[in-house]
Amino acid sequence: MSKKKLRPPPSQRKHRRTDSNRQDFDPSLIDQNTPDTLTDAIRLALTGVSTHEPIFLQVQPAPGMLHMRCYDNVATLVGRYGGRSATGWIVYEGGRGAYLKLVQHAVWGSPEGLLIDPTPSDEKRNLFLPDPDSSSGTGGESRYIALVPGAETQAVIAFCEQSDRNFKRTISMFFR
């Protein structure tokens, strides 16, 4: 009769699996949305990015516009109707006000001088920070600004930065 060998419990195994994706913060701090209002803290933090005043813009997707293709969308509208491309940043508030995430973005400056965000989005409106020096027209890394100092905010930002890099690598396979 063969004797069945039992595995030792996980705590006694020589090679234990470690969870490299473990976070040392409340996962709800990852949530990022358009701020409800432009607070003094947000305005002050953004002065280090651009000298222009941030403005709320309604998202007005134009027919044929694609998600995550703001530069192409705006170039299409400029070619079709005239106007200009206005580059800058979409500003999201994360971690219940602990930090800001800035994403390079382009909106359409209509021939009448209106700024219009034609790119489809999950948001109904965006906080847009005009910054003509922000991009070469291809998008780039997001920027993060801590509003609340501390180790937890820094851990969340580091996690989000790594997630952004992973997402950009993955999505680049589809948008070449």
pLDDT, one tens digit per residue, over 83-133 is 999 999 999 999 999 999 999 999 999 999 999 999 999 999 999 999 998
99-109 and 115-116: which strand pairing? antiparallel
Tallying the residues shown for the chain, one arrives at 176
Write down the pTM of the prediction: 0.81
What are the angstrom distances between the C-alpha of 119 and each of 39, 80, 90, 141?
25, 15, 12, 19
Q: What is the pLDDT of residue 4?
A: 58
Tokens 């002065």, residue located: 47
3-state secondary structure 53-107: CCEEEEECCCCCCCCCCHHHHHHHHHHHHCCEEEEEEEEEEECCCCEEEEEEEEE
Q: What is the pLDDT of residue 60?
A: 97
pLDDT, one tens digit per residue, over 10-53 is 555 444 434 445 567 778 788 899 999 999 999 999 999 999 99
Interval 50-57 mean pLDDT: 97
Q: Residue 159 pLDDT > 50, yes or no? A: yes
